[in-house]
Structures are given as C-alpha cells and as structure tokens.
Amino acid sequence: MPPSNIPNPVRYFIAILALLTIVAGLAGVKAAQISTLMSMGKQAQKMGPPPETVATSAAQKQTWEGSLPAVGSITAAKGVSVSNEVAGTVSRILFESGATVKEGQVLVELDTSVERAQLATARARVDLARVTASRTRALVASDSISKAQSDSDESQLKTSMTDADALGAQIARKTIRAPFAGRLGIRLINRGQYLGAGTPITTLEAIDTVYVDFTLPQQRLAEVKVGMPVRVTIESSQSGPQDGVVAAIDPSIDALTRTIKVRASVPNSQEKLSPGMFARVELILPQKGSVVAVPATAILHASYGDSVFVVEDKKDEDGHIVTGPNDKPMKSARQQFVRLGDERGDFVAIVDGLTEGQEVVTAGAFKLRNGANVTVNNAIQVAPQLSPHPENR
C-alpha cells in the first residue's frame, strides 16, 4: 500500500514506536554511562584519594661521638679598662679606636712640662752633690775634714739622686702604655682634656684566645675533666664550629640551679669570636655510641608528642598488598610516634619508635594524614649532612 494510503492511526503508531525506540536507546546509553561512572566511583573509593608526592629517606644506624650540649657566652681571656694613674692634661694620643696594639706600646701621653723642669733642677742638684761628695772624699783621705762632713755630703748625694728618680717615675706614670697585646675599644678621651686619676681612656682585650663560659647539670660533674675537648658554634656564623678545651671547672655547685660552671679556652687567632657573643657548646665525651638517625625534616612536633610518617606498602582489609595501575605496590603513610635523642647537623637520633631501614617521609609530611596514599619522588629533597656548611647567599 502506498504511504499516502496508510491510515493516520498506523502512521501515529509507527512514529510513536520509533520515538520509543530512540528514547530506549538513549536511556540504555545513559544507563551504561551511569553504570561506568558508578563503577569508577567505587574503584576510586576503594583506591582512596589521589596520592601525595613526598620525599623519603631510610632510618640509618650511625656512630656518634658522645657529647653534652650546653649554651654559653664568650668572654675575653684578658680584658681591662685602660685608665691613667695620675691626673694630668692629655698632650698626645697615639692610638685609634679598634686598633691592634703590642704589649708596652704607648697609648697616651699627659703633659709633663712642669715635672720635666723639676727633673732638670733635681739633676742639677745631683751633679752638684756628686762633685761635693767627690771633693769631700779627697779631703777625708788627707784628714782635712771630719768624717761627719763626709757622711753629710754622701747623704746629700743620695737624697738628690732619689729626688731625681722620683720625678722620673712620676713622668713615666704620665705615659699610659698597653699592659698586654690585644685590640683596643672606642677612644673615650680627646687631646687637651684634663683627666682625673682613674679616668677611663679605652678598653683593651686580648684577641688570640677567648673563654667560653657555660653550665652543665650537677649529675654530669663526674664526666667533666680539665683538658676535655669542646666544640663551639655561633648561630648564623658561616665559619663553622671552633674547637677548644676545658680550662677550668668551678668547684662549687650553684645552689639555685644545681649546675656546675665550666670555662673553655678557644683559640681565636682569626677573630671570629667576640666577647659577649651567644654560643652553643658541645662537650665531647671520650665514648662513642650507635644511634638510629633520621633527617630533622622528618620530625613533626606537636603538643601531644613528636612523630614521623613511615612509608609502607598499602594493604587491603584482608592484608593483601594493593597494586596500582602500573601493577606496582601502592604506598601509604603511617604516622608513628617517636622519642627523640640528640641532634647532629641535619640529623636527629630516634631513641624509641623506629628501627634501622624504615622509610620515613622527609619532605611533604605536613600535608599527610594517617593512611594517606603517597608517591615517592626523592629528586625534590636536599641530602642531609652531619656537618652542614650552607653557602652564604
């Protein structure tokens, strides 16, 4: 039957049937898509959130020298405030602030014009007394004068010489010299200034050696001996630690802090240490020990304790290792609480909580939670060192 002769109800039925076929097809496609998305969602839920990229390092067993850490301050081995013994007016200043001087070097001269005039008079009296005494000796030899006169003239000679020596000593006291070799401080006087006795002129400190004073708990008294090596480090210094030795131990214990005072002597020929500096001190003990150490960046500090994230193979509920798309075991991070020991450079000793060889997160730990998936990329970290020496940029 030609299409034009098909009744209208049949046409409607065919159109509706075609429309239903199309709708059914679209519903099937959409159902397949929804089923695929649900399957992917279940798979994603099973796999967990996307892994975080971190850097890791294995806990190492290292041999560390025993040491006692302390905080100290730098003091001068020899330091004085240079001042004048006698009053006078400054006539010459022979030093500059911050200059290095030798022992006995003249620093300041006070006006001695009056004393020198008196010394000239005294020397003239000495000359006269010497001539008189010489004549008297000759006359005594010929019994021309009495012995008493000779004794009087000899006494006069000695008195004149003593007066001249006293004036010479007074002039010398008006010349201020460096009592020892060292570096001067800031100049506190000016030329022409009148100085009373004991007026500060400048400071002088020896620079070849300095002292480091620090304290230790009284329980460590038996371990500390004179001559033991120490290592002194200045914060923010690029020169590295300085080596020294224990020079003195205070025999008494502080009644308030229950600590002992220790003084170390440290060579300072390059003037890297200055009096008044804050210093970190390590007293090196003779014994050494093995520790399990991790980089300090692996430690997470919190009020409830210190912890690290240990990287392990991810396992399902049945204890089977979960593999990723590349058929390799997936990695997850487990938070592990630890007890910390001493620090050495970039490393921290772990007293309890870790064993040698365990892999811990050293970079990116701040973004992890317990059980988080991780991807290891060790190209993003800097290798830790026991004695780091960062460049001065």
* 282: CATH: 2.40.30.170
Indicate whether 237 and 315 sit together in one domain.
no
Residue with tokens 């009053």: 87
Orientation of helix 113-141 relative to helix 147-173, angle to 10°:
160
Indicate whether 85 and 185 sit together in one domain.
yes
309, 281, 293, 308: which is closest to 346 by C-alpha? 293
Indicate whether 201 and 316 sit together in one domain.
no
Could you list the beta-strand ranges (E) of 94-138.
100-101, 106-110
Q: Which residue has the higher pLDDT, 381 or 272?
A: 272
The CATH number of the domain where 198 resides is what?
Answer: 2.40.50.100
Strand partners, 309: 335
CA distance 101 to 205: 10
pLDDT value at residue 393: 46
pLDDT value at residue 328: 80
User: Could you tell me if residue 140 is left (phi over 0), alpha (psi between -120 and 50 degrees) or otherwise beta?
Assistant: alpha
81, 96, 85: which is closest to 174 by C-alpha? 85
Number of Cβ within a 10 Å radius of residue 283 = 22
Letter string b/e over residues 67-76, b meaning 16 or more CB atoms within 10 A of that residue's CB: bbebebebbb
pLDDT value at residue 26: 80
Number of Cβ within a 10 Å radius of residue 126 = 20
In the sheet where 200-205 sits, what is the strand order?
Answer: 79-83, 200-205, 182-184, 100-101
pLDDT value at residue 16: 79
Chain-centre distance for alpha carbon 11: 96
pLDDT value at residue 1: 47
Q: Report the first-to-last Cα separation within the chain, whole angstroms.
A: 95
Mean predicted lDDT score pLDDT of the chain: 84
**Domain endpoint, select from 207, 223, 250:** 207
Does residue 216 form part of some domain?
yes
The DSSP result for 229-245, as a single string, is EEEEE-TT-SS--EEEE
Indicate whether 227 and 116 sit together in one domain.
no
Q: For the chain, how many structural domains are there in total?
A: 4
Indicate whether 218 and 73 sit together in one domain.
yes
CA distance 229 to 188: 39
Does residue 274 form part of some domain?
yes
For 221-244, write each residue's pLDDT tens digit.
888 899 999 999 887 666 678 889
The CATH number of the domain where 302 resides is what?
Answer: 2.40.420.20
DSSP state of 318: T
CA distance 211 to 72: 10
Strand partners, 329: 323
Does residue 41 form part of some domain?
no
For 286-313, write each residue's pLDDT tens digit.
877 788 999 998 999 988 899 999 998 8
Residue 3 has pLDDT above 70, yes or no: no
Indicate whether 338 and 264 sit together in one domain.
no
SS3 163: helix
192, 287, 299, 279: which is closest to 235 by C-alpha? 279
Indicate whether 186 and 156 sit together in one domain.
no
Strand partners, 108: 93, 176
Model confidence at 388, pLDDT cuts 50, 70, 90, reads low
pLDDT value at residue 383: 72
pLDDT value at residue 4: 55
For 29-60, write each residue's pLDDT tens digit.
787 777 777 766 666 555 556 788 888 999 98
Indicate whether 187 and 222 sit together in one domain.
no
CA distance 91 to 348: 62
The CATH number of the domain where 150 resides is what?
Answer: 1.10.287
Domain that holds residue 322: 52-64+290-380
For 369-380, write each residue's pLDDT tens digit.
888 888 888 886
Does residue 389 form part of some domain?
no
Indicate whether 185 and 99 sit together in one domain.
yes
Indicate whether 222 and 272 sit together in one domain.
yes
Indicate whether 272 and 330 sit together in one domain.
no
Does residue 32 form part of some domain?
no
Does residue 369 form part of some domain?
yes
pLDDT value at residue 246: 93
Q: Which of 156-160, 193-197, 350-354, 356-360 shows the lowest per-residue confidence on average (mean pLDDT)?
A: 156-160
125, 189, 120: which is closest to 158 by C-alpha? 125
Does residue 336 form part of some domain?
yes
pLDDT value at residue 48: 57
270, 271, 274, 248: which is closest to 261 by C-alpha? 248
210, 202, 174: which is closest to 80 by C-alpha? 202
Does residue 17 form part of some domain?
no
Indicate whether 364 and 301 sit together in one domain.
yes
CB 47 within 8 A of CB 325: no
Number of Cβ within a 10 Å radius of residue 90 = 21
Residue 266 is which amino acid?
A: V
Number of Cβ within a 10 Å radius of residue 242 = 21
User: Could you tell me if residue 214 is left (phi over 0), alpha (psi between -120 and 50 degrees) or otherwise beta?
Assistant: beta
Residue with tokens 């890791």: 56
CA distance 313 to 330: 6
Chain-centre distance for alpha carbon 177: 36
pLDDT value at residue 391: 56
**Domain endpoint, select from 188, 207, 226:** 207
